[in-house]
Amino acid sequence: MTNYPTIHKNKDSFKIPPNLPNYENAVKDFKHWSDFEKELTYFDDHKINAAYNAIDRHIETFRRNKIALFYESETGEKKEYTFYDLFVLSNKAANIFKDLGLERGERAFLFLPRIPELFYCFLGIQKTGAITGTLFSAFGPQALEDRLSDSQAKIVITTKELKERIEIIRHNLPHLEHVIVVDSQDFTDKMEKAKEITHVARMDPDEPAFMLYTSGTTGKPKGVVHAHRAILMEYITAKWVLDLRDQDTYWCTADPGWVTGIAYEILGSWANGVTSVVFSGRFDPKIWYEILEKYSVSVWYTAPTAIRMLMAADSGIVKNYNLSNLRHLCSVGEPLNPECVEWGLKVFGLPFHDSWWQTETGGIMITNYPSMDIKPGSMGKPVPGIIAGIFKDDRHKLPVGQEGNLCIKCKWPSQMRAIWGRPKKYESYFFAEKGTGQKWYLSGDRATQDKDGYFWFVGRADDVIKTSGERVGPFEVESALVEHPAVIEAGVIGKPDPMRGEIIKAFVVLEKSYQERAKGKEGEKLIEDLKAYVKKNLAGHAYPREIEFIDKLPKTRSGKIMRRILKAKELGLPIGDTSTLEEY
């Protein structure tokens, strides 16, 4: 679907040899997940604890006094923590939670901005054997009530400022026993007095470790539960895909309110012993480049929405920064437009590596590896050990080249263990393959696989447009539009049409210099230009018959375009759950 040439990798493509030197060999040699367990630490009887693997096991090694976390606040306040510091702080936090009666399997939720307390309290809860939940600090009372009430959380950990939102709904939360305020004198005193050592709960690998609610892009968020075992997948993918190693400084821009922040800012990344940067401020191109420079970031994991915003900002500004330490760039969360991959090459001398996964999969499933050629616009290939397939709606497997439901063969270590309180919903994600009976997981996304084994994202099943008998994925139309110099971002939907079933409608955010001009007659000309551009570069049937300029696309807090909101507004329908909408 893309006209972009393949980016070939050879030994000059990387500064140091990748952790996964040869993808094909790794796939061929893969036998069983348990073969990798020796890289983690299990207790007797095969018990495990994710937090122990992220932090404690490094204490006995050369990493004891290594920086685990460089923290910088929005106002520029800086702090640093070694692995030993996080070990002690999380032990103390665990002891405080235990004193409050938090028990194995009970839920404790973090409602915190991205401050150091979030990280060590997350680990502390894991150590008690309770289930850690995360909540974006921007959540309002309704979003909080939905999640805290559904999960029957016993403890919420928050700040003075955020606590007010909990107070509003507290009378509806009979299970909530304690609200811990981390910026209070009480917490400071408790931390001071708490013992530095704690007994880390020995968990069965299948016992729940954390839960979080999906991004809510397509509907009401679901409470996805993950087990301690998931750390194996998170560790291996952080090693193979993010290519983390000891000399790196790694920056994951995700918030732990989103699964990426848990799997690759806490568990998988620290399980590899890497030094991480956490910046709690907002997106701002200059500040982001400053962070990359100041901390000599070498591996950077971010999202398409941020990349598009950096592209929209004057790319000249990047020249003011010394980013020579960067060696590996990755992206997640949304389809990565091929133009973003190319832009990385142009500006940083490095392509972005797309990675596809979901809250439910608990870890990266399909991705581009440092050692593998990149086809810009493709998600890449399944992680060694993961088998992905494309299925028809009738549960028959489809051959290469055909578009269908993207599915993952069961089981893998970070496969979700439950949808909290909704066993039927959970079961609905799985099906038996016609003919073989093999169990598969249905992702809800549509994709194709090409003859070389690369997977291409088409769209979420709900978003795929059926126009004049053809199926069109919004992503390819959006990508075609984004390539036009006037366009920063685009959200594409199907709009019911009596003749064609649906027509394609695009909502377009224009580049600054085009915004004023597009208000008058020139706007109409630009619309025609854009239509012609997509017709020419994509396909005659896939161009948007309607184009509307808007200032901003509705997005989730994890940065995903919410096409369902564009559609509901267009059709004058109720807009549904908006708890994860970026701004109301």
Q: Which residues of the chain form contacts with ligand ATP (CB under 6 A)?
A: 214-219, 221, 258-259, 332-336, 354-356, 358-359, 379, 443-445, 457, 460, 558, 560
- Contact by Cβ (8 Å): 366, 380: yes
From ligand ATP, Mg ion, none, which one binds at residue 354 (CB under 5 to 8 Å depending on kind)?
ligand ATP
Question: Nearer Cβ to ligand ATP, position 106 or 146?
Answer: 146
Cβ 584 to ligand ATP, closest distance in Å? 18
Backbone φ and ψ for 226, nearest 5 degrees, come out as -120, 150
| Six-digit token string for 191 | 């931390």
From ligand ATP, Mg ion, none, which one binds at residue 421 (CB under 5 to 8 Å depending on kind)?
none
Question: Nearer Cβ to ligand ATP, position 263 or 379?
Answer: 379
Would you give the end-to-end CA distance of the chain in angstroms? 35
Cβ 135 to ligand ATP, closest distance in Å? 14
Question: Nearer Cβ to ligand ATP, position 353 or 484?
Answer: 353
Q: Which residues bind Mg ion (CB under 5 A)?
A: 214
From Mg ion, ligand ATP, none, which one binds at residue 371 (CB under 5 to 8 Å depending on kind)?
none
- Contact by Cβ (8 Å): 101, 77: no
Question: Nearer Cβ to Mg ion, position 158 or 215?
Answer: 215
Cβ 296 to ligand ATP, closest distance in Å? 27
From Mg ion, ligand ATP, none, which one binds at residue 133 (CB under 5 to 8 Å depending on kind)?
none
Cβ 460 to ligand ATP, closest distance in Å? 5
Cβ 222 to Mg ion, closest distance in Å? 8
**Residue 414 per-residue DSSP state:** T
From ligand ATP, Mg ion, none, which one binds at residue 128 (CB under 5 to 8 Å depending on kind)?
none
Cβ 214 to Mg ion, closest distance in Å? 5
Q: Which amino acid is at 428?
A: S
Question: Nearer Cβ to ligand ATP, position 68 or 365?
Answer: 365
From Mg ion, ligand ATP, none, which one binds at residue 334 (CB under 5 to 8 Å depending on kind)?
ligand ATP
Nearest-Å Rg of the Cα atoms of the chain is 23
From Mg ion, ligand ATP, none, which one binds at residue 544 (CB under 5 to 8 Å depending on kind)?
none
From Mg ion, ligand ATP, none, which one binds at residue 221 (CB under 5 to 8 Å depending on kind)?
ligand ATP
From ligand ATP, Mg ion, none, which one binds at residue 216 (CB under 5 to 8 Å depending on kind)?
ligand ATP
Nearest to 460 by CA among 556, 353, 343, 322: 556
Question: Nearer Cβ to Mg ion, position 214 or 253?
Answer: 214
Question: Nearer Cβ to ligand ATP, position 237 or 359?
Answer: 359
The tokens 């976390």 sit on which residue? 69
- Contact by Cβ (8 Å): 389, 397: yes
From Mg ion, ligand ATP, none, which one binds at residue 332 (CB under 5 to 8 Å depending on kind)?
ligand ATP
CA dist 9 → 15, 423, 574 (Å): 12, 45, 48
Which ranges of 103-230 would DSSP assign to H, the alpha helix? 116-128, 141-151, 160-169, 185-193
DSSP collapsed to 3 states, 1-69: CCCCCCECCCHHHCCCCCCCCCHHHHHHHCCCHHHHHHHCCCCHHHCECHHHHHCHHHCCCCCCCCEEE
Cβ 444 to Mg ion, closest distance in Å? 6
Question: Nearer Cβ to ligand ATP, position 52 or 391?
Answer: 391
Cβ 568 to Mg ion, closest distance in Å? 18
User: d(Cα 37, Cα 193) in Å, to the nearest integer?
Assistant: 36
Question: Nearer Cβ to ligand ATP, position 215 or 414?
Answer: 215
- Contact by Cβ (8 Å): 8, 373: yes
From ligand ATP, Mg ion, none, which one binds at residue 355 (CB under 5 to 8 Å depending on kind)?
ligand ATP
| Six-digit token string for 2 | 């893309």
Nearest to 68 by CA among 340, 307, 243, 272: 272
411 preceded by a cis bond (ω within 30 of 0) = yes
Cβ 404 to ligand ATP, closest distance in Å? 15
- Contact by Cβ (8 Å): 299, 243: yes
Question: Nearer Cβ to ligand ATP, position 444 or 523?
Answer: 444
Question: Nearer Cβ to ligand ATP, position 71 or 356?
Answer: 356
Backbone φ and ψ for 253, nearest 5 degrees, come out as -90, 5
- Contact by Cβ (8 Å): 370, 10: no
Cβ 525 to Mg ion, closest distance in Å? 39
Residue whose CB is nearest to Mg ion in the complex, by number: 214
**Residue 152 per-residue DSSP state:** T
Cβ 134 to Mg ion, closest distance in Å? 17
Nearest to 242 by CA among 269, 278, 223: 269
User: d(Cα 237, Cα 239) in Å, to the nearest integer?
Assistant: 5
